[in-house]
Amino acid sequence: MNASTQMKSNRSSVQKETRSMLSKLSMIVLYVILIIVAILQILPLIWLLLFSLKDNQEVFQLAPFAIPSDPKWENYVKVWTEGNISLYFFNSVWITVTAVVLTVLLASFVTYAITRMRWKLSKLVLGLFMVGLMIPVHSTLIPLFSFYTNIGLMNHPMSIVLTYTAFNLPLTIMILLGFYQTLPREVEEAAVMDGCSVHRIFFQIMLPMTTPVLATTAIINMIYNWNEFVFVNTFISSDRYKTLTVGIQNFIGQYTTDWGAIGATLMISIIPILLSFLFLSNRIVEGITSGSVKG
């Protein structure tokens, strides 16, 4: 009896050690895979940084990841001063911020009306906005070009702001929808009992409660607006209103192309997105998951 108990105890301890070893091994494998993925994600940024510090001769003669013998930091000075990049950077900032604020505010209005108010056409209106997710961007270029020409908004930054807002509304509403449906109605009922109007309930109670998901939608919209190229290239022809994504073309000539300057411009253009993602990435996950579970 004692021998049988001892054997079972030994077998149990061996099984525990085996499970522990397998668990540690799986964690090691997982970390190795994540490290490899992280390296693969960082390599293009390292390549772009090295690329931006080379001249045309080094770009074509050196290996892609070769460190330039004489780093051309003047490429950054050149694009910022001579290449109008400072103006394009400012245009990207204010156009992106204006479109993001407008999109988030309008999407909040729509989502609040659909989820917290009772009216007959709420489902139909929601369906119409969701149809916007299925409309290809390129299919709208000609109709929008004709529309903006007729109302005098061609070569005007408002054409870009309005386009960004319209195309980002469906996705923003879809993200806000799940969050608004989880908010307790008792808060609104208490506010009504205290004499609050609909406008006060929305701006002073509901809007502050949705701060996490608003941050998520703002970051997603910012990334899309900052990197967008097609609409700016189609609707804007004046250097005065061009953004960074289109301004890069200034360094592409008919016979020669300044590749180092292009690399420096690209590096400048991705720095705001990288910083935003590094500092606010937790907000994206928090905002997306906050409306996924009720209770």
In a domain, 60, yes or no: no
In a domain, 73, yes or no: no
Regarding whether 92 and 6 lie in a shared domain, the answer is no
Q: What gap in Å lies between CA 270 and CA 103, rounded to an integer?
A: 22
pLDDT of residue 32: 93
Regarding whether 93 and 131 lie in a shared domain, the answer is yes
Neighbours of 263 (CB within 10 A): 25
Instruction: Output the domain CATH number for residue 191.
Output: 1.10.3720.10
Regarding whether 255 and 115 lie in a shared domain, the answer is yes
Regarding whether 155 and 284 lie in a shared domain, the answer is yes
pTM of the model: 0.80
Q: Each residue of 67-118: pLDDT tens digit?
A: 888 888 888 888 888 778 888 999 999 999 999 999 999 999 999 999 888 8
As a whole number of angstroms, the longest Cα–Cα distance in the chain is 96
Residue 143: CA count within 13 A, CB half-sphere? 7
In a domain, 57, yes or no: no
Residue type, 1: M
- Range of lowest pLDDT (88-92, 107-111, 178-182, 277-281): 277-281
pLDDT of residue 16: 75
Regarding whether 91 and 40 lie in a shared domain, the answer is no
Regarding whether 107 and 40 lie in a shared domain, the answer is no
In a domain, 162, yes or no: yes
Q: What gap in Å lies between CA 155 and CA 190, rounded to an integer?
A: 49
Regarding whether 282 and 156 lie in a shared domain, the answer is yes
Query: Residue 257, SS3?
Result: strand
Q: Which one is predicted more confidently, 79 or 167?
A: 167
In a domain, 77, yes or no: no
In a domain, 101, yes or no: yes
Q: Is-contact 220 284, C-beta < 8 A?
A: yes
Regarding whether 260 and 168 lie in a shared domain, the answer is yes
In a domain, 124, yes or no: yes
pLDDT of residue 295: 44
Task: State the residue range of the domain holding 10.
Answer: 2-52
Long-range pairs for 151-159: beta carbons < 8 A, 24 or more residues apart: 153/235, 154/235, 155/235, 155/236, 155/237, 155/238, 155/241, 156/235, 156/241, 157/91, 157/95, 157/236, 157/241, 159/231, 159/235, 159/236
Split into its structural domains, the chain has a count of: 2
Per-residue CA distances from 268 to 77, 139, 219 (Å): 11, 31, 18
Regarding whether 155 and 280 lie in a shared domain, the answer is yes
Regarding whether 230 and 93 lie in a shared domain, the answer is yes
Long-range pairs for 228-231: beta carbons < 8 A, 24 or more residues apart: 228/164, 230/137, 230/138, 230/141, 231/137, 231/141, 231/144, 231/159, 231/160, 231/163, 231/164
Q: What gap in Å lies between CA 112 and CA 210, rounded to an integer?
A: 11
Regarding whether 86 and 44 lie in a shared domain, the answer is no
Structure tokens at 262: 């292009």
- Using pLDDT thresholds of 50, 70 and 90, give the confidence band for residue 225: very high
Structure tokens at 66: 């070769």
Structure tokens at 43: 């390599």
Element (H, E) at 265: helix 259-290
pLDDT of residue 293: 46
In a domain, 66, yes or no: no
Q: What gap in Å lies between CA 39 and CA 32, rounded to an integer?
A: 11
Q: What gap in Å lies between CA 33 and CA 41, rounded to an integer?
A: 12
Summarize the confidence of residues 218-235 as an average pLDDT. Answer: 90
Q: Each residue of 233-246: pLDDT tens digit?
A: 999 988 889 998 88
- Using pLDDT thresholds of 50, 70 and 90, give the confidence band for residue 281: low
Structure tokens at 102: 């407008």
Helix segments in 56-84, DSSP class H: 56-61, 74-81
Regarding whether 100 and 9 lie in a shared domain, the answer is no
